[in-house]
Structure 1
């Protein structure tokens, strides 16, 4: 996980703990306190769900960018190999032409 994700989770956890402690030490009746805790739990659950969705979207986006980058790199490698192959074939054809010429001279002198 990235530092920003860890920081966000830490802030959310700290907020939830602080709110819960504040409610527990507040001078209210038990029913009101339980209601506040339940409301706060729902609120924190919603925040965590939103954060999870955001993290999932960012991960998917990052994965897509990395996939596109990998595809581009593979295309570049294939292109470079293709050019190198053409260079090797051209060089071999030239060497073959030279060898044929030398062979022809040797056959004439023999």
Structure 2
């Protein structure tokens, strides 16, 4: 499947682009986008922050677990649930909600600021 051109979302091909996204998500489960206007430097910075967070020792990451996180705006979770899954798919992930610089500085790990 070819990359999906997001620059066309604001034009006459909006519905076509939406259909391409839906079709790719339903058939392949993933897709590549181009012309998304996200600067490369920002994408690299986010990737570096994620690497720093996931390379932290477990005892430092655990304070952000969903059940004990000091904020709903920062949660560290896992999808590993063998008791309810037919196919084991393990991924750890962080969910960081941005509402203001103040909240981000207060609740996000230093590695992700």
**TM-score, length-scaled by structure 2:** 0.20
Q: Which has the higher helix share?
A: 1
Q: Please say which structure displays the higher CA radius of gyration.
A: 1
The TM-score, its normalising length taken from structure 1, stands at: 0.20
Higher strand share goes to which structure?
Answer: 2
